[in-house]
Structure 1
C-alpha cells in the first residue's frame, strides 16, 4: 500500500536548480516535513492487532525529473485488505480434502467452507493524508 505526496513546481530551470539542489532544498525540506507528519499520523491512526502493520510504515522523499515526491508506504501483505476492506468471499482449505479450523463461541469448529461476510474498510492512510497533507496545500488524487 502506498500513499503518495507529490508536489508539482512550475518554475524555470534556474529556479528549479536553486530550489532542488541537494537533499536540503526548501521544497524538498517542505515535502519531507509533510511526509513525516503524514507517517506519524498514519502510525497513530493505524488499527493494531499484533503491531506489525503499525511498525511497517516508511517514508521516502526525493527528486526525480524536476519533481519532488514523497511516499508513505507499508509493505505488509495484508495492508490493502485492512485499508480498503473486503467484500463477501468464500474461504476454502488450501489442500484438497482438507478442513478449516477456527474458534467460535468458546468452542473449536471444523468445516470445509466458510462464507465470510467481508470486513469494513479502515482507511487510516487516506485519513492521515486528508488531515495533514490537504491543509498543507496538497491535493489527493486517486
Structure 2
C-alpha cells in the first residue's frame, strides 16, 4: 500500500504568515493592555497635590511583528524629584532680592530647604510589568 500527497508551499506560507500576523496583533494588544495597567498602577501610587503629575503619566507601544516595547513615563519636569527625593539644598532668588510666598511672614534672602523623601510611583509600577505581562500574554498566544 502506498500513499502520495502534495503540499502547496505557497499556500502553506500564506497561511503561516496570516497566523503569525494574528499572533503579532495579539502581542501588540497584550503590550498595550500591559502599558495601560502599568499607568494605572503608577497613578495609584503617585502622590497628589494638584493632580498634574498623576494625570501626565502615559504609555506608548512601539515595535514590529517580532519585537514590541512599552514605554511608560511623564513629561512633568519635577517627576524625578518626587520619585527619587531631593537632598537638602539652598534656594536663592533668581530675579529679585528676596523670596516670598503665600503664608510667609516676610521676604527672605535664602531658604535652606531640608530636602524631600522619595515617593516612588514609577519604579514599583515598572517592577510589576513582568507579572502584568504574564497575565496578558496568554491572550496574545491565542491569536
Q: Distance in 1 between matches of 2:17 and 2:46?
A: 36
Q: Does 1:70 align with 2:67?
A: no
Q: Secondary structure at the match of 2:130?
A: coil
- Hey, what does 1:85 align to over in structure 2? 85
Report deviation, 1:64: 5.1
- Hey, what does 2:120 align to over in structure 1? 123
Give matches, 1:1-142, under 5 Å: 19=20, 21=21, 25-63=25-63, 66-95=66-95, 98-102=97-101, 107-130=104-127, 132-136=128-132
Let me know the Cα RMSD of the aligned residues.
2.8
TM-score, L = length of structure 2: 0.70
Q: Distance in 1 between matches of 2:75 and 2:131?
A: 27
Structure 1 stretches of at least 4 aligned residues deviating more than 3 Å after TM superposition: 15-19
TM-score, L = length of structure 1: 0.70
**Higher relative contact order, chain-length normalized (CA < 8 Å, sep 6+):** 2
Query: Larger C-alpha radius of gyration, 1 or 2?
Result: 2
Note the alpha carbon deviations across 1:7-35, whole angstroms, 9 max, x for none.
xxxxxxxx99964x48x622212211111
- Structure 2, unpaired ranges of 5+: 1-15, 135-143
- Structure 1, unpaired ranges of 5+: 1-14
Q: Distance in 2 between matches of 1:63 and 1:16?
A: 18
Q: Secondary structure at the match of 1:134?
A: helix
Q: Which has the higher strand share?
A: 1
Report deviation, 1:62: 1.7
